[in-house]
Amino acid sequence: MTEIVSLEALTARIAPGASLAVPLDSAGVSMAATAALIEAGVTGLRLVCVPTSGMQADLLIGAGAVAAIETSAVSLGEAGGAPRFGAAVRAGSFALTDSTCPAVLAGLLAAQKGVPFMPIAGIIGSDLLKVRSDWKVIDSPVGGGKVVVVPAITPDVALFHAPEADRGGNIRIGRHRELAAMAYAAKRTLVTVERIIDRDLLATEDSAAGVLPSLYVDAVAIAEHGAWPLPLWDEYHRDGTEVARYAAMARTEEGFRAYLSAFLTRRKQVA
């Protein structure tokens, strides 16, 4: 049964060294849980970006919480490159595994289906095959040419933010099916939400559409404005001014530390 817990209790379930699946910036990023993880001093995280990340990954990397990352990209979008990610790559501070969006999603699908790999064809001829020894090119056993087999990706934890959950732990995820893919593949799923509602989200066919059932959710915590400064679908927009301010400050280690201190303080005030 899904538990409704405090934010601190939720993030305490993410152990040092855990593999952590996180969504792209527009899909519901738990910046509140990100701040709590940094406050708790968690280290050694192995991020799996589904299929990209931005400010969330950059903050965790800058805070020294990341040991490895698999991603298709880390970027702040119109605010430019992710400065702490770039600095850490140049310094060799963590293990970087390059991927593609279809490959990440295929790996999660394999884990969901309980099979060791998933075949895809779109990356045949890519230079990525030269650096991904775990991706194998084989002849399709049913004809049609060659395919690449991508190993299953089974994160220890999937972490994201959503508008609401009901008291049974069902989560409204709308059209963001990548969140469901993360939850299906991960060993545990932890979700922060804007609010808990009394209405059963699975009560009718209409309300159940776009809902992740509690069967796939281990714990939920309330975190108002929990994706800020990133967007949350129809709830609030991306705070472009804040992200640009982060991008400018995080170009130096000193600027990043100053931003991080203020960001953590603001998150505490919101909580």
Residues 94, 164 share a domain: yes
Residues 141, 95 share a domain: no
Residues 223, 133 share a domain: no
Q: Does residue 104 fall inside a structural domain?
A: no
| Cα separation values, 224 from 59, 150, 164, 250, Å | 20, 37, 10, 25
DSSP state at residue 185 = H
Residues 129, 95 share a domain: no
The pLDDT tens digits along the chain (271 residues) read: 899 999 999 999 999 999 999 999 999 999 999 999 999 999 999 999 999 999 999 999 999 999 999 999 999 999 999 999 999 999 999 999 999 999 999 999 999 999 999 999 888 888 999 999 999 999 999 988 999 999 999 999 999 999 999 999 999 999 999 999 999 999 999 999 999 999 999 999 998 999 999 999 999 999 999 999 999 999 999 999 999 999 999 999 999 999 999 999 988 777 6
Residues 131, 242 share a domain: no
Q: Does residue 109 fall inside a structural domain?
A: no
Q: State CA 129 to chain mean position distance.
A: 24
Residues 135, 180 share a domain: no
CATH code, 265: 3.40.1080.10
Residues 198, 95 share a domain: yes
Range of the domain at 131: 119-151
Residues 65, 88 share a domain: yes
Last residue of a domain, one of 151, 168, 194: 151
What is d(CA 255, CA 105) in angstroms, rounded to the nearest whole number?
35
- Number of domains comprising the chain: 2
Q: Does residue 108 fall inside a structural domain?
A: no
